[in-house]
Amino acid sequence: MKIFSIFMLISLSLPIQAQSIVACQFTNSDGYRWSNGKWSNAKFKLEKPFFMKINQDGIIELDSINNLIIGATECKRVWRHIKPENVMCIGSMDFVSFNTKTMEGATSYIGGATQEGDRDTISTALFTCQKM
């Protein structure tokens, strides 16, 4: 009983570190479409609002952005010592960039630029978030 009481006292004194959930919405979406053998500027329909999970280290949880990028493999702070608030998640041909201080970010898909023949679109979409 004494050991349990000591454990409870220690655990209660430790700071609670939980993930944050942020609600986000897209504000702009532009890019290029391949048409008649050349690229043309394009505006895209804004995607639906979404939620992201940010862990206690300030990194985006991969499972919360599966709908934003294809085959996400890693999220990390890009300039850890200079700008620790900048987080980047990398996918197969796309990425998400997010600033935990300004709560603004962007998604980008660039895979279409390397395809042969009928090319896929290239796009960048800006979003803003707020803490829940």
Instruction: Give tens-digit pLDDT for 40-56.
Output: 999 999 999 999 999 98
CA distances for 23 relative to 14, 27, 35, 49, angstroms: 28, 13, 35, 7
Say if 68 falls within a structural domain.
yes
0.85 cut: is pTM over it? no
- Give the pLDDT of residue 67: 81
pLDDT of residue 103: 96
The answer to whether the CB of 44 falls within 8 A of the CB of 123 is: yes
What pLDDT sits at residue 77?
A: 85
Residue 11 lies in a domain: no
Domain count for the chain: 1
In a domain, 5, yes or no: no
> What CATH number should be reported for the domain holding residue 109?
2.40.128
Range of the domain at 42: 19-131
pLDDT tens string 10-31: 433 333 346 899 999 999 999 9
In a domain, 117, yes or no: yes
53 falls within a domain = yes
**How would you label 8-46 residue by residue, b for 16+ Cβ within 10 Å and e otherwise?**
eeeeeeeeeeeeeebebebeebebbbbeeeeeeeeeeee
Give the residue ranges of the chain where pLDDT is below 50: 1-17
Indicate whether 1 belongs to any domain.
no
Let me know if residue 80 belongs to a domain. yes
Decide if 8 is inside a domain: no
